[in-house]
């Protein structure tokens, strides 16, 4: 069975530890699917490692692995974390940017504050949320990360459109707040981004890559788009920004 690398509090590689496989008996009032989920959790090395290191979720390792590969969480960077609950990604961002950096997180769910970060509860799709984030950030961002996911319907095509819709809204926000050469990271489903969204990313960033970090379960359809080197909003994409400013003025 594979295991993740052990990490220090700063999210760097160390030595791992072996774990025994545990089986879970089906209780009378527990559905078989719940039993399978519980058994998977008990035997997931990332879950064990997250608990040992005090990370709030195994998802913290996804950001660790993405940053280890692409190196966007630099010391002193300013980061916006969308879909932040329960705070695992925020923890890693705070550790990696250090005390001279700044991390602002938001989620529709209430979650405990992360030391060293500004944590906000709110629906990112609400009209006032982008302005709340900008006020907390108080300047430009170097990185915008989004681990947001829409509730699944079980219909792959519908679920894909929902997640792409979230990515588009997050991207529009990122292009409003990113500093030159900034980075945008967002969760998408396998199959990557749709052509319209991918073309927008390529017009406005110098590098656009898709990556599935090892901590993402093999059976999961999720993957991540990593767009680096923000060039500023292209003339072709300026209309949406002008429309937003007009609507705000009205």
Q: What is the pLDDT of residues 16-47, one digit of tens each?
A: 444 444 444 455 555 554 444 344 544 467 88
Report the pLDDT value the prediction gives residue 158, as an integer from 0 to 100: 75
Separation between Cα atoms, residue 220 and residue 156, nearest integer Å: 12
Report the pLDDT value the prediction gives residue 47, as an integer from 0 to 100: 80
Report the pLDDT value the prediction gives residue 219, as an integer from 0 to 100: 74
Report the pLDDT value the prediction gives residue 119, as an integer from 0 to 100: 98
Report the pLDDT value the prediction gives residue 126, as an integer from 0 to 100: 95
For residues 199 and 245, the answer to whether their CB atoms sit within 8 Å is no
Report the pLDDT value the prediction gives residue 174, as an integer from 0 to 100: 97
Write out residues in the chain with pLDDT < 50, as ranges. Answer: 1-25, 33-39, 41-43
Separation between Cα atoms, residue 67 and residue 79, nearest integer Å: 13
Report the pLDDT value the prediction gives residue 243, as an integer from 0 to 100: 56
Closest by alpha carbon to 152, among 198, 111, 189?
189
- What CATH homologous superfamily does 60-249 map to? Vaccinia Virus protein VP39 (3.40.50.150)
86 cis-preceded (ω within 30 degrees of 0): yes
112 is known to lie in a ligand binding site: no
pTM of the model: 0.80
Render pLDDT for 170-201 as a digit per residue (tens, 0 to 9): 999 999 999 999 999 999 876 556 788 999 99
Q: For the chain, what are the domain ranges? A: 60-249
Catalytic residues, which ones?
187
67 is known to lie in a ligand binding site: no
Neighbouring residues of 233: CB distance < 8 A, sequence distance ≥ 6: 175, 204, 241
Closest by alpha carbon to 93, among 69, 124, 118?
118
**3-class DSSP state for residue 42?**
helix
107 is known to lie in a ligand binding site: yes
Report the pLDDT value the prediction gives residue 68, as an integer from 0 to 100: 97
Report the pLDDT value the prediction gives residue 218, as an integer from 0 to 100: 77
């Amino acid at each position: 069975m594979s295991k993740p690398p052990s990490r220090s509090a700063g999210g760097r590689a160390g030595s791992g530890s072996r774990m025994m496989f545990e089986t879970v008996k089906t209780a009378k009032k527990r559905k078989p699917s719940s039993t399978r989920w519980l058994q998977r959790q008990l035997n997931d090395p990332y879950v064990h490692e997250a608990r040992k290191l005090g990370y709030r979720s195994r998802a913290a390792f996804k950001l660790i692995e993405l940053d280890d590969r692409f190196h966007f969480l630099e010391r002193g960077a300013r980061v916006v974390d969308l879909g932040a609950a329960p705070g695992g990604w925020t923890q890693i961002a705070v550790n990696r940017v250090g005390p001279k950096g700044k991390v602002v997180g938001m989620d529709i769910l209430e979650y405990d504050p992360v030391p060293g970060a500004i944590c906000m509860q709110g629906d990112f799709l609400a009209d006032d949320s982008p302005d709340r984030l900008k006020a907390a950030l108080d300047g430009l961002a170097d990185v915008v990360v989004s681990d947001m996911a829409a509730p699944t319907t079980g219909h792959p095509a519908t679920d894909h459109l929902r997640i792409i819709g979230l990515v588009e809204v997050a991207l529009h926000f990122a292009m409003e707040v990113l500093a030159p050469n900034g980075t945008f990271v967002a969760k998408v489903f396998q199959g990557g981004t749709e052509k319209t969204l991918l073309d927008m990313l390529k017009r406005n960033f110098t590098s656009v890559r898709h990556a599935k970090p090892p901590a993402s379960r093999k059976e999961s359809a999720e993957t991540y788009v990593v767009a680096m080197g923000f060039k500023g909003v292209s003339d072709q994409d300026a209309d949406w920004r002008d429309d937003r400013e007009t609507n705000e003025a009205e």
